[in-house]
Amino acid sequence: MALVFPKTDLIQGLKLRDGWIMPQWRQERSTTAGGQSILKDMGPMLWAAFYETTAMARDDAIDVETDLMTLQGGINLFEGYDPRRALPKSDDQSVLDGVTVNAIRSDRLALRLAGLPAGFEVSKSDYLSINDGLNLHLLRAATGAVASSTGLSAWFEVRGALRAGVAVGQPVKLRYPCARFMIEKDSISRQRVSEMNDAISFSAVQVIL
């Protein structure tokens, strides 16, 4: 059977002891002769991810190593999410299919969603992933919002900013919302937990094509 990339089931197939996604700001700071600090954005924010499995039988750990080997370092990508908030805080049961971007504010730091269940609440710190056909744009809600009886959310702020590829009508994923990642060089590590059990950890950075 041929392997398919980006690999979509890598993280869901792991039993995690720890894991997170955090913003990686691409900024440079310089200081003038007078002591004034100048901050310059070198590009849009990217997400950085870290995952660590629970202790597992050594044979199972070797299987995880093999799955990671198929990524060939940073050549092949995988889809990753933040296990701390993989599902919406207010509703971890609804399927939430058919959600789309309804409107984008001019500064591209806020949006409205359509296709939500009536009364659905987008909570602060919920994630959403927007598919533009080429990239998965992972965003975190900075404010909350409630959907109307027609499934249209109120405006809510997000971070990072909505990139130029994000447009009205594109599909939105609220359950296990993902970005696409590449493994960081030399980050895969195996820890011996006991005589017969190991744990695997690795880190990754978001890729935008």
Instruction: Tell me the pLDDT tens digit for each residue of 151-173.
Output: 999 999 999 999 999 999 999 99
Q: Do residues 50 and 39 touch, judged by C-beta distance below 8 A? A: no
Rounded Cα distance between 147 and 121, Å, is 6
Rounded Cα distance between 109 and 82, Å, is 21
> In what helix (H) or strand (E) does residue 68 lie, and over which residues does it extend?
helix 58-69
Quick one: pLDDT at residue 175?
98
Residues of the chain with pLDDT under 50: none
3-state secondary structure of 6: coil
The pLDDT tens digits for 95-123 are: 999 999 999 999 999 999 999 999 999 99
Burial (0-12, 13-18, 19+ Cβ within 10 Å), 60: middle
Q: Do residues 172 and 141 touch, judged by C-beta distance below 8 A? A: no
Quick one: pLDDT at residue 30?
77
Between the CA of residue 72 and those of 60, 137, 165, what are the distances in Å?
20, 23, 28
Quick one: pLDDT at residue 27?
66
